Structure 1
Amino acid sequence: MDTGMLLWLITAGVLVLFVLGVPIFLVIGFWVVGASMAIDFTLANVGVTLFEGLNFFGLLALPLFILTGDLIAAAGIARRLANFAHACLSWLHGGLGLATIGSCGLFAAISGSNAATTATIGGIMHPLLVKDGYRSHFAAATAAAGGTVGIIIPPSIIFIVYGFIMNLSISDLFIAGILPGVLMVLSMLAMCWWRCRKENMGTISPLDMRNVLTTARRAYLGFFAIFIVIYGIYSGVFSPTEAAAITVGFCLVAGVFVTREIKWRELPDILLRSGQLTGMLAPMIAISIVMQQVFGLLGAAETVSAFIAWFGDGKVVVLLACMAIVFAAGCILESLPITVIFAPILAPIAVSVGVDPVHFSVIFLVGAAIGFITPPFGLNLFVASGVTGIPYMRIVPSVLIYLAGLLVAWMLIAFVPWFSLGLIPVR
């Protein structure tokens, strides 16, 4: 049997495993080992690369930012941010829905995880939304859509992974995600306002500046945590890894001694939850390095490049083709495997036609983030369903309006590089 046929059989076999629900790490791992054997690539390299792939100081930020998300939820900081967002937006149509999206943006500026953003804000806001007259499925869809910015607004777990895989500055990536994240939030706010105004959902309250100032004062811990991350990295005072460590320390002290909502006996459970997520992500990062090597030997980049060139070789055509691939992948895969599989292939192609590598990273990851609300996979839709109890298929129709707004924002981010590069110091 020739090598090509053997690779197709291995690929078909792991696709069956994926459909059957085998963890994605094992699916990719089986493919990597099988493909390595098929092309006579030494298996000793797999073990060495798995170890060396994680032997990198910058990756320490990954578990620390995951822990930060769990700490701010447990410390009550997320709830205080949500109260502030509602105080600011309650005078508009759909004020509580708008506050849900705004809360997701604020939470994302500390946590770096889409699932944590959806679960935490959805758990807080969904009962309030339903009580205020919002349709339950629309309320769940709002939390799911708002969670998409969890991996774009810094700090971002997936930006750390992308920067590591593609050898880019994580600080630059964090800064590049600020304006695109804000643009995504604004697009969802506009969609939420339009839908709520059209269907008369929610109640409108007069703007009370005293309430705004009161909730802002109570949410000062969240604002300070955001300030630590963004100012520290932007100014160069400390690296993303150091920012993560400082933020964890701050949130722990705030939760235990200031809000007093974190009890010492709860810390082991919080650490365990964070460790479980880290234990899922770290092996994926390690195996991605081996996969890149196998793809390189198989000439995957050249094959995809030839496929894209078939549509044309202009910058716009290449970008649209790359975005189409990412969008299609987002319908069936989570952001981590999308990044692991497609970033090493698509990024060099985009750079070859003149796209800045940092700009393309934002384009790529915004597309991956949109995948969190695109069926049939749509991870945030499953998270929102689990948190709210609303069936998955009831949430899907209500999320389409947010999907439309995010696609418009994605196009602006892709074809107006300033949104990604405007805040980065001259390199």
Structure 2
Amino acid sequence: MTDGMLITLISLGVTFFFIIGVPIFLVIGFWVVGVSLVIDFTLANVGVTLFEGLSFFGLLALPLFIMTGDLINAAGIAKRLSDFAYSCLGFIRGGLGMASISACGMFAAISGSNSGTTATIGSIMHPEMTKGGYDKTFAAATIAAGGTVGIIIPPSIIFIVYGFLLNLPISELFIAGMLPGLAMVVAMMFTCYLISRKNGWGHIIKWEPKRIMRTGLRAYLGFVAIFIVVYGIYSGLFSPTEAASVTVGFSVIAGLFITREIKFKSLPKILMRSGHITGMLAPLIAVSVVMQQILSLIGAGEWIGSLITGLGDPTIILLACMLLVLAAGTVLESLPNTIILAPILAPIAYTAGVDPIHFAVIFLVGDAIGFITPPYGLNLYVASGITGIPYFSIVKHVLPYLLALTIVWIIIAFWPPLSLVLLQFAGLS
């Protein structure tokens, strides 16, 4: 039996494991070990690479931003941001739904996690939307869609991983994600407004400047946290890792001594939750580095590259890359999708004339859309879990948001200034 046939059988076997629910870390690990044995790639190198794959200073930001999201939620700051958003938008039909999406954007600017954004804002805003006259399934779909910006609006955990894999400056990736992330928020808010207006959903509250001022003052801690991250990174005062460290410290102090919603005895539980999530992500990143080595050795990147570049026209090549990202996003979570495809597709896009930073934004926006694309759609599962509404019921109501985000994605892909203008303004690109 040839090596190619053995690798194909191993790939089919691990695909079956994935379908039946085996954790993706083990799926990739089985593939790595099996293919290593087939091609006589020493397993000792696997162990060394697993260790060295995580020996990167920038990756320290990963657990710190995860911890920041947990602390911001526990401190009650996320709830105050949501109240402020509603006081600003509640006078519009669909204002509470729009406020939920806006709150997702603000929380994303602190936490950098899509599932964390969906879970945190969803647990706060879904009961409020249900009481406020919205269809409960539409409310769940709105929260799931809003969470997609968690990995686009900086700081972003997946941008950190992408920058690590492709050796791109993380701070520049963060800057490039700002306007596309805002465009996604605006598109989803407009979609929510149209649907709510059509169905008459949502109670309208009076425009009250005093209420806006009051809720804005109560939410000041959230604005300070956002300022620390944004100003610290973009002024050059902090690296992304240092900004994450400072924000964690601020969140602890704010929760313990200002809002007083975090107790000393609850800190171990919060840290354990953050550690649990990090413990799932870090091994996956490590094993993915080995996977990249093996894919390179067996020529997978060259094969896919020749297949796509053979299409000839740069526009068709970019569209093919986008379709591949979206197709993978329907069945894979963003991290393995990025780990597997980004090192293969980024060089192809570069040869087609696409700026590496611009393609990073294109790739990760497509990745984000995968969060609400069946049959996987991680945010749909998270929204289902926190609301108790069946998965497929939410899918039907998320389709308008999916369409709106796809339109924004196409604009981002074929109008590079949306991603690069801030870098050019800063003299970085």
Native 8 Å contact 2:81 2:106 kept in 1: yes
Whole-Å separation in 2 of the counterparts to 1:88 and 1:347: 40
- Quick one: which amino acid aligns to residue 361 of structure 1? A
Whole-Å separation in 2 of the counterparts to 1:113 and 1:328: 21
Cα shift at 1:421:
1.1
Cα shift at 1:43:
1.3
Give the match for residue 377 of structure 1: 376
Give the match for residue 128 of structure 1: 128
Gaps of 5+ in 2: none
- Runs of 4+ aligned structure 1 residues displaced above 2 Å come to none
Whole-Å separation in 1 of the counterparts to 2:377 and 2:250: 33
285-294 or 269-278: bigger deviation: 285-294
Q: Deviations over 1:104-149 (max 9, x none)?
A: 0000000011111001111101111111110000000000000000
Whole-Å separation in 1 of the counterparts to 2:188 and 2:199: 16
Alpha-carbon RMSD: 0.8
Whole-Å separation in 1 of the counterparts to 2:265 and 2:219: 25
Give the match for residue 426 of structure 1: 427
Give the match for residue 398 of structure 2: 399
Native 8 Å contact 2:318 2:352 kept in 1: no
Give the match for residue 139 of structure 1: 139
Cα shift at 1:309:
3.0
Native 8 Å contact 2:155 2:229 kept in 1: yes
- Quick one: which amino acid aligns to residue 334 of structure 1? E
- Quick one: which amino acid aligns to residue 350 of structure 2? V
1:146-157 residue pairs with structure 2 within 5 A? 146-157=146-157
- Quick one: which amino acid aligns to residue 396 of structure 2? P
Whole-Å separation in 1 of the counterparts to 2:396 and 2:307: 33
Give the match for residue 262 of structure 2: 262
Report SS of the residue matched to 1:279. Answer: helix
Give the match for residue 69 of structure 1: 69
Native 8 Å contact 2:374 2:395 kept in 1: yes
Give the match for residue 323 of structure 1: 322
Cα shift at 1:39:
1.1
1:245 correspondence with 2:241: no
Q: Deviations over 1:188-232 (max 9, x none)?
A: 001000000111101122211111111110000000100111111
1:356-367 residue pairs with structure 2 within 5 A? 356-367=355-366
Cα shift at 1:56:
1.1
Give the match for residue 235 of structure 1: 235
- The number of residue pairs the alignment matches comes to 426
Cα shift at 1:420:
1.2
Whole-Å separation in 1 of the counterparts to 2:256 and 2:412: 40
1:289-328 residue pairs with structure 2 within 5 A? 289-310=289-310, 312-328=311-327
1:68-87 residue pairs with structure 2 within 5 A? 68-87=68-87
Q: Deviations over 1:219-252 (max 9, x none)?
A: 0000010011111111111100000000000001
Cα shift at 1:307:
2.0
Give the match for residue 186 of structure 1: 186
Whole-Å separation in 1 of the counterparts to 2:163 and 2:145: 25
Give the match for residue 211 of structure 1: 211
- Quick one: which amino acid aligns to residue 102 of structure 1? S
Report SS of the residue matched to 1:177. Answer: helix
Give the match for residue 19 of structure 2: 19
Report SS of the residue matched to 2:53. Answer: helix
Give the match for residue 160 of structure 1: 160
Whole-Å separation in 2 of the counterparts to 1:426 and 1:114: 30
Whole-Å separation in 2 of the counterparts to 1:342 and 1:22: 21
- Quick one: which amino acid aligns to residue 387 of structure 1? I
- Quick one: which amino acid aligns to residue 160 of structure 1? I
Give the match for residue 338 of structure 2: 339
- Quick one: which amino acid aligns to residue 114 of structure 1? N
- Quick one: which amino acid aligns to residue 420 of structure 1? S
Cα shift at 1:302:
1.5
Whole-Å separation in 2 of the counterparts to 1:227 and 1:68: 14
Report SS of the residue matched to 1:228. Answer: helix
Whole-Å separation in 1 of the counterparts to 2:175 and 2:53: 25
Give the match for residue 409 of structure 2: 410
Whole-Å separation in 2 of the counterparts to 1:350 and 1:207: 48
TM-score, length-scaled by structure 2: 0.98
Whole-Å separation in 1 of the counterparts to 2:85 and 2:195: 19
Whole-Å separation in 2 of the counterparts to 1:313 and 1:68: 45
1:1-80 residue pairs with structure 2 within 5 A? 1-80=1-80
Gaps of 5+ in 1: none
- Quick one: which amino acid aligns to residue 343 of structure 1? A
Whole-Å separation in 1 of the counterparts to 2:226 and 2:345: 32
- Quick one: which amino acid aligns to residue 332 of structure 1? V
Native 8 Å contact 2:309 2:348 kept in 1: no
